[in-house]
Amino acid sequence: MRTLVTYSSKTGNTKKIADAIYGIMSERSRIASVEEDPNFGDYDFVAAGFWVDKGLPNRKAADYLKKVKGAKVGLFATLGADPDSEHAMDCMKRASEIVRVDNNLIGHFISQGKVDPKLIKMFEKLPPDRPHALTPERVALHERASTHPDQEDLRNAQAKFKEMLGELENSSGFSSAKSISPVPTRRAFLTRKLFTKV
Ligand SMILES: Cc1cc2nc3c(=O)[nH]c(=O)nc-3n(C[C@H](O)[C@H](O)[C@H](O)COP(=O)(O)O)c2cc1C
Instruction: Annotate the chain with DSSP letters as a single string.
Output: --EEEEE--SSSHHHHHHHHHHTTS-TT-EEEEGGG---GGG-SEEEEEEEEETTEE-HHHHHHHHH--S-EEEEEEEESS-TTSHHHHHHHHHHHHHHHTTSEEEEEEEEE-PPPHHHHHHHHTS-TTSTTS--HHHHHHHHHHTT-S-HHHHHHHHHHHHHHHHHHHHHH----PPP------HHHHHHHHHHHH-
Cα 57 to middle of ligand 1, angstroms = 9
Best residue among 116, 123, 146 to mutate for probing ligand 1, ranked by most atoms within 8 Å of CB: 116
Identify the pLDDT of residue 171.
84
Residue 61: φ, ψ to 5°:
-70, -40
Kindly report the protein residue whose alpha carbon is nearest to atom 22 of ligand 1: 51
pTM: 0.88
- The answer to whether the CB of 112 is under 6 A from ligand 1 is no
Higher pLDDT, residue 193 or 4? 4
Indicate the residue type of 98. I
Q: What is the mean pLDDT of residues 177-182?
A: 51
Q: How far apart are CA 144 and CA 46, in angstroms?
A: 30
92 lines ligand 1 (CB under 6 A): no
Atom of ligand 1 nearest to the CA of 10: 27
Model pLDDT, residue 198: 36
Assigned CATH topology for domain 3-113+148-197: Rossmann fold (3.40.50)
Asked if residue 192 has pLDDT above 50, the reply is no
pLDDT for res 101: 83
Which tens digit of pLDDT belongs to each residue from 43-59?
Answer: 999 999 999 999 999 99
Confirm or reject: Cβ of 54 under 6 Å from ligand 1: yes
Residues 6+ away with beta carbon under 8 Å from 153: 17, 111, 112, 187
Tell whether ligand 1 has an atom less than 6 A from the beta carbon of residue 11: yes
- Report whether pLDDT(151) > 80: yes
Tell me, in angstroms, the distance from the centre of ligand 1 to residue 79's CA: 5
Domain residue limits, the chain: 3-113+148-197, 116-147
77: nearest Cα among 180, 163, 178, 148: 148
Ligand 1 nearest-atom number relative to CA 52: 17
